[in-house]
Structure 1
Amino acid sequence: MQSKKILVYILLVLGALTMLLPFFWMVSTAFKTGFEALQTPPTWLPKHFQWGNWVRAWQAAPFATYLINSVVVSLATTLGQLVTSILAAFAFAKLNFSGKKVLFTILLATMMVPGEMLIIPNFVTLSELHLVNTYGALIVPWLASFFAVFTLRQSFASVPDQLYYAARLDGASDWQFLWRVLVPNAKSTITAIGLLQIIGSWNSFMWPLIVTNTEKMRTLPVGLQAFSSDSGVQYPELMAASTFVILPMVVMYLLLNKYVVAGISNTGIKG
């Protein structure tokens, strides 16, 4: 039994090191010279730390503008998705209406559609609405997610129906029961969904690249293109920029990690 535990710990440590290695290499390369970054065999640590790489990385593009855009888009999509998901999940979990099961099944089936298939239809729709290269193009398509609805519905459904009926008999409206009972009870799940969405929005590259065509609307991941050109890639500056793009999400995840684990566990979803 003891040997099995030791084996499990060894495998977990090896897995953790494997996951951390790319981040270590990114930060290490951010302090190297261009020659060291391409040196063969590679060096793990720079001989002389090049702090100027970070300054040049920040000045290579209007990253302050990209940062503001990323914050606005991430917060707007996350808040919007939470509101739509909470309302839809409540309807599917506690309300009775005609076609409820059929509609839920149809929406559940949409989770099997690859996101790449929706890029062209979404872009054409936004073009017709004259929203390309605006915050609307970056935000509107991501204001709803059936994965979030499904996850929250599982959490809301775990609350006994008897509690809902008792609240209704006491004079509470559906709106009051939702915000005073269900939402507080599912706060860990809601936090997990919000965290996953904000990380996904922050790291999004393809969609912002497609629907924006000026620097004033670009987001941070798209801004990393500034370090790639026909003459090559400036790896030290690129790694420095990548570090300060990723760092806020890493810190946020480390602070809220327990809510992600608790939120997914509460839904009953098995991996």
Structure 2
Amino acid sequence: MNARKKFRPLTWVLLILWALVVLFPFYWMVLTSIKDYGAYNAEYIPSFFTLSPTVENYVQVFTEVDLGRYLLNTVIFTVITTALMVFVTILAAFAFARMEFAGKNLLFTAFLALMMIPSELVVITNFQTITEWNMRNTFLGLILPSVTSVFYIYLLRETFAQVPDSLYYAAKVDGTSDWRYLWKVMVPICRPTVVTITILKVIECWNLYIWPSLITDDPKYYLVSNGIQEIRESGFGRANIPAMMAAVVVISIPLILLFLGYRKQIMSGVARGGTKG
């Protein structure tokens, strides 16, 4: 006990230093976003503070680039994609965890093997398929490739498997259908994991860059990731870093608030899904 008390101050010092290292990029992002364009370019040595902050960069990203529309598109894409993904994940996880059918274990093993396929290969095949179906520059083309996730199905399946079989057998004796048992018993019991995969999917959709850049070239369907690229390449030129940082701050705020509000559910859901027995 004495040894633990002896090293406790050192532990706190190391944790504080690590927190500063992690948080510094966010500080630098906000600081750059409130610097004047000319003042930023005039800095030969980077300054760690500014005496003349400005909100001009934030005004520019909403007036000279249609960032508001891109935010709306991203919200629509994120909500629909996440809802479909959670629905598909719950059904697939329940099938692998509770239902009995021929070749279930072999199929689940093959399903997990899909995680070994590089994502770049999947992007290529998805792009070819969506193009052949004439779904480029549509929300449907953006959404369809993102409605399934092997990892989330595996995570939820492991959580479903922890629910005692006796509950299932008791429900069947009472005449409860599998569909009703799933939504009235399994999902409420495993709510932390369901909330976790929902939040993680929201973050994934919000930060998606490669697929929207490939499948859309019409500004009507741009997401926020395309908007940042537009600021860099055509909105203000490659040198306007303060405007880009202002856009990144605006885009990051919803995710930061989401994580801070549901951090306990995320941690408990991941811990529960990774523990069996």
| 8 Å CA contact 2:137, 2:216 repeated in 1 | yes
Which residue of 1 is the match for residue 255 of structure 2?
249
**Post-superposition offset of 1:191:** 0.6
Which residue of 2 is the match for residue 74 of structure 1?
78
Aligned residue for 1:232, secondary structure, equals coil
Which residue of 1 is the match for residue 36 of structure 2?
33
Which residue of 1 is the match for residue 129 of structure 2?
125
The answer for unaligned runs of 5 or more in structure 1 is: none
Q: TM-score when scaled to structure 1?
A: 0.96
Aligned residue for 2:121, secondary structure, equals helix
Matched residues in 1 for 2:14 and 2:200: separation?
Answer: 26
Task: Supply the AA of the counterpart residue of 1:73.
Answer: F
Which residue of 1 is the match for residue 190 of structure 2?
186
| 8 Å CA contact 2:159, 2:193 repeated in 1 | yes
Task: Supply the AA of the counterpart residue of 2:7.
Answer: K
The answer for unaligned runs of 5 or more in structure 2 is: none
CA RMSD of aligned residues (A): 1.5
Q: For residues 132-211 of structure 1, what are the structure 2 equivalents within 5 Å?
A: 132-211=136-215
Give the counterpart of 2:68 among 49, 64, 71. Answer: 64
| 8 Å CA contact 1:152, 1:189 repeated in 2 | yes
**Post-superposition offset of 1:11:** 2.4
Give the counterpart of 1:258 among 236, 243, 264. Answer: 264
Which residue of 2 is the match for residue 4 of structure 1?
7
Tell me whether 1:113 sits opposite 2:144 in the alignment: no
Matched residues in 1 for 2:180 and 2:8: separation?
Answer: 48
**Post-superposition offset of 1:269:** 5.3
Which residue of 2 is the match for residue 22 of structure 1?
25
Matched residues in 1 for 2:255 and 2:24: separation?
Answer: 18
| 8 Å CA contact 1:227, 1:235 repeated in 2 | no
| 8 Å CA contact 2:78, 2:205 repeated in 1 | yes
| 8 Å CA contact 1:227, 1:233 repeated in 2 | no
Matched residues in 2 for 1:166 and 1:229: separation?
Answer: 62
Task: Supply the AA of the counterpart residue of 2:229.
Answer: Q
Matched residues in 2 for 1:3 and 1:200: separation?
Answer: 42
| 8 Å CA contact 2:65, 2:231 repeated in 1 | no
Matched residues in 2 for 1:8 and 1:110: separation?
Answer: 41
Aligned pair count reads 270
Which residue of 2 is the match for residue 235 of structure 1?
241
| 1:127-186 C-alpha deviation (Å, 9 max, x unpaired) | 111101100111000111111100000110000112111111111111111111110011
**Post-superposition offset of 1:44:** 1.1
Quote the sequence identity (%): 37
**Post-superposition offset of 1:194:** 0.4
Q: TM-score when scaled to structure 2?
A: 0.94
Aligned residue for 2:100, secondary structure, equals coil
| 1:94-131 C-alpha deviation (Å, 9 max, x unpaired) | 11001100110011011121211111110000011110
| 8 Å CA contact 1:126, 1:137 repeated in 2 | yes
Q: For residues 215-226 of structure 1, what are the structure 2 equivalents within 5 Å?
A: 215-226=219-230
| 8 Å CA contact 1:228, 1:234 repeated in 2 | yes
